[in-house]
Amino acid sequence: MDGPTSKFDMEQSALLPQVQDVMSTPTRKKLPFALAIVGLVATLGVCMMYSNRANKISRMRSTNVQILAEESAALCGDMADPDVCASLSAMYNGMSGDGWVMNKYWVGGYHYCYWQGISCDDDWKVVEIELHNMAHLGGNNMVGEVPDVFEPLTELVNLDFGYSPDLRGSVPNSISTLEKLQFLRI
């Protein structure tokens, strides 16, 4: 068989005269062509490198969002706002929530609107955090510093930690962002 036998062979044989023509030109004409090819290959390599990097960053971001959503669902239920969940969970963990007298349903997979001491409006937005315990003379056993995590709680009207002698530190700056806040007792 002397002629091309497949589509690939036909494409190769069609390109062969062009390649032979380039190869037969004097060296000085081949050099710019070769440099152009090298430049093109280098440009493609750089583009692929940045494309791969961008894809990795994009995958990392989506993975982080997925992890945050999974953690939020584990702590606050599937329908919870992840930022509000993170805020309330940080408050719970930062102030020794496991030792609170009023910690029923906290970070146990229930939506935060069901957590003891949390009240929400009809749109499932946190409007009250009342963690005082009138029945217990020692308060709610909150210990530590109040974390600066209140910014996501945009609808908060009432923040009441009641008698909490073991809380320390200053009032968190994020409380100043709560435009609807009417009552504050820390």
Q: CATH 3.80.10.10 region(s) of the chain?
A: 77-185
Q: Is this prediction's pTM over 0.85?
A: no
pLDDT in tens, 119-177: 999 999 999 999 876 555 567 888 999 999 999 999 999 999 887 888 888 999 999 99
- pLDDT value at residue 92: 93
Check: CATH 3.40.50.2300 for 77-185?
A: no
C-alpha of 15 from chain center: 51
Could you tell me if 184 and 162 are in contact, meaning their C-beta atoms sit under 8 angstroms apart?
Answer: no
Distance between CA 91 and CA 104 in Å, rounded? 15
Amino acid identity, position 156? L
pLDDT in tens, 100-119: 888 899 988 899 999 999 99
Could you tell me if 161 and 141 are in contact, meaning their C-beta atoms sit under 8 angstroms apart?
Answer: no
When the pLDDT of each residue in the chain is averaged and rounded to a whole number, the result is: 74
Amino acid identity, position 108? G
